[in-house]
Structure 1
Amino acid sequence: MLEAVSLSCRRGQRRVFSDLSVKLEAGQCCLVSGPNGSGKTSLLRILANIAQADAGQLLWHERPVQRNDSDYRRNLMYGGHAPGLNANLSVQENLDSLLLQDRVAWERQDYDQALRAGGLLAYRRVPLRQLSAGQRRRVFLVRLSLSNRPLWILDEQLTALDSAGQHFLGELIAQHLQRQGAVILTSHQALPWKLDVQHLDLGSAC
């Protein structure tokens, strides 16, 4: 599904990683680990085609991914450190806008079920600025649950989540893998789920 071949990344004069390759098939999950500064976020941004590697190639279904590749972007969902939400809009207004952007045709029943599963049904009319960091993270997870994109690239999505939120994310990932989607993610903490996960340690890859 996704293959990165001989990627190299530098920050200024410092080499972050070089000659790094990773391959992700349908139904697979890869956990990227490593100490601070090892390039976890840089790698995920390269894989999401948000940033460009200094060397190497990114392939999607064996096709080279071009810069600003709209077809590739339509097949992936990227979750960065910040949820990318408008604090002045309500939970529902944010989701309506994002799902329209994602071109997701959703049913009201599915929408309400996703809000309920994310613990946000009672907050749908509440402005984002009144929610905690963990609740804001859950808004992105609800968006993720309603997306139909096969590739998820998730950077530190466990951050600020309580045990219920972590369980919600784990269920989403497990269901996505069962549907033959693929996930690559980073986490500073051990994953609290029993999943068959590949490991890529950037601490040893540098």
Structure 2
Amino acid sequence: MLDAVSLTCKRGQRRVFSELSLRLEAGQCILVSGPNGSGKTSLLRILANIAQADEGQLIWRDRPVQSNDSDYRQQLVYGGHASGLNGSLSVQENLDSLLMQDRVPLERDACDQALLAGSLLAYRRVPVRQLSAGQRRRVFLVRLALSNRPLWILDEQLTALDSAGQKFLGELIAQHLQKQGAVILTSHQTLPWDLEVQHLDLGQAC
């Protein structure tokens, strides 16, 4: 599904990682680990085509990924440290905007079910700025539940989630993999799910 070939990332004169290659298959989940500063977020941003590697290439389904490749970006959902939500809009308004961006037809019943699963149905009209950090994270998880994009790139999405939120995320990932989607993620925490996960340790890869 996705090949990263000989990626090199620099910060100033320092090489964060070099000659890094990976292959992400359909139905596969890769957990990227490593100490602070080893380049976990940098790698995920490169894989999401938000940042560019100093050297190397991405190949998506046998096609080279170009800089600012809109066709490739339409195949993925990226979840970073920031929520990416508009605090002045309600939960539902944010979801409507995100689903439009994802080119997902708005089906109210499906949206209601996802909000219910994410424990947000009662908050759908509440401005996002009034939500806790964990609830904001859950809004993104509801977006994942409704997304039809095959590649999920998730950076520290367990942060701020309680046990129920972590379970919700684990269920979403399991369902996505069963549908032959692919996931690459980072986490400082031990993953609390019984999933088959491949490991990439940047502390060893650097």
Q: Same fold (TM over 0.5)?
A: yes
Give the aligned partner of residue 77 of structure 1. 77
TM-superposed CA distance for 1:76, in Å, is: 0.5
Give the aligned partner of residue 24 of structure 1. 24
Instruction: Describe how 1:96-107 pairs up with structure 2 within 5 A.
Output: 96-107=96-107
Unaligned runs of 5+ in 2: none
- Separation (CA, whole Å) in 1 of partners of 2:101 and 2:201: 34
- Separation (CA, whole Å) in 2 of partners of 1:57 and 1:96: 34
Unaligned runs of 5+ in 1: none
Query: Do 1:90 and 1:128's aligned partners in 2 also have CA atoms closer than 8 Å?
Result: yes
Give the aligned partner of residue 68 of structure 1. 68
Give the aligned partner of residue 162 of structure 1. 162
- What do the CA deviations read for 1:63-102 (whole angstroms, capped 9, x no partner)? 1000111110110000000110011111001111111111
Q: How many residues align?
A: 206
Give the secondary-structure state (helix, strand or coil) at the position aligned to 1:152: strand
Please identify runs of 4+ aligned residues in structure 1 that moved more than 3 A.
none
Give the aligned partner of residue 89 of structure 1. 89
Instruction: Describe how 1:1-206 pairs up with structure 2 within 5 A.
Output: 1-206=1-206
TM-score (norm 2): 0.99
Query: Do 1:28 and 1:197's aligned partners in 2 also have CA atoms closer than 8 Å?
Result: yes
Query: Do 1:106 and 1:146's aligned partners in 2 also have CA atoms closer than 8 Å?
Result: no
- Separation (CA, whole Å) in 2 of partners of 1:30 and 1:160: 21
TM-superposed CA distance for 1:108, in Å, is: 1.1
TM-score (norm 1): 0.99
CA RMSD of aligned residues (A): 0.5
- Percent identity of equivalent pairs: 83
TM-superposed CA distance for 1:106, in Å, is: 3.0
